[in-house]
Amino acid sequence: MKTSYASAIALALATLAAGHVMAADVAPTAHVQAGINDASGDVVEPITGLKLREINPARYAANSAVKGKTRAQVQAELAEARRNDDGGDVVEPVTGLKMRDINPSQYAENSAVKAKTREQVRAELAKAQSSRNAGDTVEPVTGMTLREINPSRYSNANS
């Protein structure tokens, strides 16, 4: 008996719900109809096999598709951005500031240092390793040269 009551109640609720769905206005609203009319026209008409745009071009807006970049162009841009370290040059859309300006600690400094040649580096190394200049290295904490801190370890030729 309880099962028949439960079944009857479930059937009644389903009927009420279906009635509301059936009574709903199924006609498309104005903005949906406008979207259908302004569609791209790329739908293929099954009988002729032509696109709707090809059958009636006056009904559809001009195709203003912007041609994208090729894979090679995108890869070239990426390589250039990596070379230039443009990570901080991305503009934040709300403020219009570059990300590098908003949070400079997250990005490396853009210091354009001219690279030295191999000969320049070798000459600099030889100068630093020479015995007469060995005491000219500045100790960072005190700001004194090693020759000034411990004069007995260095020759007096350069004093």
pLDDT tens-digit profile of 29-43? 666 666 666 566 677
- Average pLDDT, integer, range 104-128: 80
Q: Please give the Cα distance from 60 to 29 (Å, whole number).
A: 20
CB count in 10 Å sphere of residue 154: 20
The pLDDT score that the predictor gives to residue 159 is 47
**Tens digits of residue pLDDT in 67-94:** 788 999 988 988 887 677 666 667 777 8
The residues, any chain, with a CB within 8 Å of residue 124's CB and separated by 6 or more, are 116
Considering the chain, what is the average pLDDT of its residues? 76
Domains of the chain, by residue range, sit at 2-59, 71-106, 118-158
